[in-house]
Structure 1
Amino acid sequence: MTALFDKKILISLSDTDHDVSQIQNSFLSIVRTANVQFENIFDGYEEAYKDGNVLFIGLKSASQVIKEYIIYHRGRIIDGALQNYSTTEQFVYNTVNPRSEKNNRKHIHSLYENIQKYDTSACGTYLTIKEIGEAIKDYVSIPYTLPIRFRFRLSIPLDDILVFNGFTDHPNSLFGDLKIKFKINLNAFVFAQVNPIISMAKYYTMNKTDLMASGARQTEEH
């Protein structure tokens, strides 16, 4: 989907001709595209290490991308469904959520140890220092805006949204024609550096042949 951060997004969660079932196993799948701003150009890195140093940019939990939301049932707002502090709500909920539910679920939770393993459970993307430096090297104003847009997928389990928690305790097949309208929370995004020892080792392992060939060419030139 394409949406500005200050615009509300309306998504149908069900079809008018079909009742909802297994809502606890349902999720929203969203592909986000965004630009990033940096306050420096990472010129302190030696050229040989830029490809192997990696930043992760994304969310701690996919549901935290929702800033505020309203739930509609058959065209009418559900009483009490207006939530203006959804990100805080999701943070509290996921804090008490068992860690077992945060592992091995694709694009839903970004645990730090899983980011280090480039695990698919993380909801975000990876950028190398070299990619960032190349993209903003000609910019002179601060903050530097990364002109290359990055895309990543989020999967939001519906029962991670508080208003849907109770649906798992009721015969949810009685509910139909559900819609959610929400806004994206720009401030929910976080970043972390992948452990350089791990990312450098991964880079050299994946590019061993090319690096050895490049080293051989440089030796011949000298």
Structure 2
Amino acid sequence: MNIVVCVKQIPDPAAPQSFDASNNLDRSGKLILDEADTYGVEMALQLVDKAGGGEVTVVSMGSASDVAGIRNALAMGAAKAVIVSDEALRGSDALATLAELLQLPSITFAKSVEIDGTTLKVERQTESGYDEVTAPLPCVVSVTAGVVEPRYASFKGIMAAKSKPLQTLSVSELGLDGQVGAAGAGQAIVEVVAAEARQSGEKFVDEGDGADKIVAFLESIKVL
């Protein structure tokens, strides 16, 4: 079984964030693998192991100047990686219609995934519980955080990742000239505003009337 996992490298959340003149996030610094994507990589690795053969390929779009995040996915166990990197992609909006373009069935918010022959069995998370869904393979699936526990890359895996194939493709090589970038995104970031600083909370000294004070406070802010 062969599985392709779409992943994204993002600026390290622990580092200060900045934006360029077009209000796009500056990605010139350290990039890491989005934590949410590690669940998809882990799920794919487990499915390949259960199938008894095959490989996992990770695909990403973005800067190729720092591929540490992609290497992390390879260190986890993915066999190879492909990154589409081109200045023409600046401002692109990643499509959420992958399954439609590939003409494949799609299941979202999967909280468990099993393979039964040529059929995919999924428990899909919903607001009221979950749905049990089946679909023929191949299929496009998105998983929720917590579907599996992502493994930590071992030292052996980290060393092996350095020699695994990592192919970089340009827009022209994919035949997408004129279809991508800010012009093809259909939207623009008008303004970026920092969130308001958190205000200090309300403190009450309980002198036997703590409950009454809390109720009065909640009523004053129209929570009750």
TM class, shorter-length: under 0.3
Which structure has the larger Rg over C-alpha atoms? Answer: 2
TM-score (norm 1): 0.22
TM-score (norm 2): 0.22
